[in-house]
Amino acid sequence: MALIALEGIGKRYDLGEVAIDALRDVSLTIDEGEAVAIMGPSGSGKSTLLAILGCLDPPTIGSYRLGGDEVGKMSAAALAAIRCRRIGFVFQGFNLLPRLTAIENVELPLAYAGLPPRKRREKAAATLERLGLSERMNHLPNQLSGGQQQRVAIARSLVNDPDLILADEPTGALDTRTGNEILEVLEGINAGGTALVVVTHDVSVADRLRRRIALKDGRVGKDSDHPTAAEVIERRAKLALVEQ
């Protein structure tokens, strides 16, 4: 079933006498539980598309349905509720509040959702424990490594049990080993049924996801399913056995 359905989406920015079309006639669907990489050169429209998917910026033209609901007809309050309850965001720069501890950062979406203090503390703690941060709950962001900060950010994105995680270059600020660990966390979340959309410049990151959407000049240039890295390794191993 389609979680996301875009039809004829366009986004135009008017900069005085100059108009820039960041997206042009984008139509696509993303099913529940899918794992999708969005790729393309700088200026191709990746960030604009992610902002529209996250209900952060409305399209200039076209239709966006999330779970069958037309986003363009929603009030500001309804959009805020969707961002809080149905969509989780993960950013390259972590975007943690520096004066709040790890658990306080994770509690924020629960507070916005109106959960009582005791229940949100319990749920935030359980989510951090799930991500291996049970001993870091009361640490401030500057007391955590980059990988730990990104895990806190992922916990914050997960704590309201969203249908969709949107990740913007989630490994861009991390070394290779730590980046792989974060990707494994995201893959585990997706395996549990949460849809995952990752914007990335890194082909090795895109190769770990089932589907790749390539943008060029604001349009979908290529949209294809492909085997994951694990499937490629398994296929090569089977071929090697046959050759023996």
pLDDT at residue 189, rounded to an integer: 94
Residue 225 pairs in a beta bridge with 211
Closest CA to 7 of 240, 220, 239, 226: 220
The confidence band for 235, taking pLDDT boundaries of 50, 70 and 90, is: low
pLDDT at residue 231, rounded to an integer: 57
pLDDT at residue 150, rounded to an integer: 95
Residue type, position 5, single letter? A
Instruction: Give Cβ neighbours of residue 56 (< 8 Å, ≥ 6 apart).
Output: 83
Residue type, position 239, single letter? L
Q: Is 70 helix (H, G, I), strand (E, B) or coil?
A: strand
Residue 37 pairs in a beta bridge with 198, 212
Q: Over 90: is that where the pLDDT of 99 sits?
A: yes
pLDDT at residue 140, rounded to an integer: 97
Query: For the CA atoms of the chain, what is the radius of gyration?
Result: 19
Asked if residues 232 and 202 have their Cβ atoms less than 8 Å apart, the reply is no
Closest CA to 102 of 143, 68, 71, 74: 143
- 233 compared with 198, residue with greater pLDDT: 198
- Give percent of the chain above pLDDT 70: 92
Tell me, rounded to whole angstroms, the distance of Cα 131 from its chain centroid.
17
pLDDT at residue 1, rounded to an integer: 77
> Model confidence over 153-193: pLDDT tens digits?
999 999 999 999 999 999 998 999 999 999 999 999 999 99
